Chain A
């Protein structure tokens, strides 16, 4: 396993609610990226955090927001949940931005919106 952990493993929410997903990065990594994998699709980039600042964002609305903490763990928050937000949410950690670095993934959080 990669050393990247995510919580919770799965959860069920109702449309309109808010949800917070958590990710602990691998030791020594200061960059965390979040991805959404909908059924039948490849993972889609949501955003990336580097040293507590958002460093890039994919094509997701503002109701998807995040945080990175001084220990480089991270949260993904989704407001006003919609049925289409049902997906597997993956986080990945990596070393400094300079150069090519592998991204190490956690096992994901399965979110179901009803």
Chain B
């Protein structure tokens, strides 16, 4: 079992605040790192898949960075909005075509 840790477990911010979460994963045998956004009663939504050390991805106000040598990825949300409220999951992969190893997620609540 590959240990993927996410922190914090939950986060409550005010509308307009910027925030970030951490995903830690084993640095050996790295293949890919995925981020998902999961709203209650919906399907997890794919945000990013990252493969290269130093990779940075951006989608609107959300961005992510990757450090495969030290085994962590950061997800940033700039100017949080109430619609950003969701659970953010990261998942680590060691082989092509096999399992995603998920963390427990960070639950974000953004209040007006």
Chain B's interface size range is 20 to 34
Verify A42–B103 contact, CB threshold 8 A.
yes
Verify A102–B34 contact, CB threshold 8 A.
yes
Q: How far is the CB of A10 from chain B (nearest CB, A)?
A: 11
B residues bordering A, Cβ < 8 Å?
1, 4, 31-32, 34, 36, 41-46, 49, 51, 89, 91, 96-105
Q: How far is the CB of B66 from chain A (nearest CB, A)?
A: 13
Q: How many residues of A contact B (CB 8 A)?
A: 32
Verify A106–B96 contact, CB threshold 8 A.
no
With A1-B42, A35-B100, A43-B102 given, name 14 new contacts (CB 8 A): A4-B43, A31-B97, A42-B89, A43-B89, A55-B97, A59-B1, A97-B97, A100-B49, A100-B96, A101-B49, A102-B34, A102-B46, A105-B36, A107-B43
Residues of A within 8 A of B41 (CB): 107
Main secondary structure of the interface of B (DSSP, over half): loop
- Interface Cβ pair total, 8 Å cutoff: 70
A102's nearest neighbour on chain B, judged by CB, is B46
Residues of B within 8 A of A35 (CB): 100, 102
A residues bordering B, Cβ < 8 Å?
1-2, 4, 31, 33, 35, 40-45, 48, 50, 55-56, 58-59, 90, 92, 97-108
In whole angstroms, what is the CA distance A97 to B96 when docked?
7
Verify A100–B102 contact, CB threshold 8 A.
no
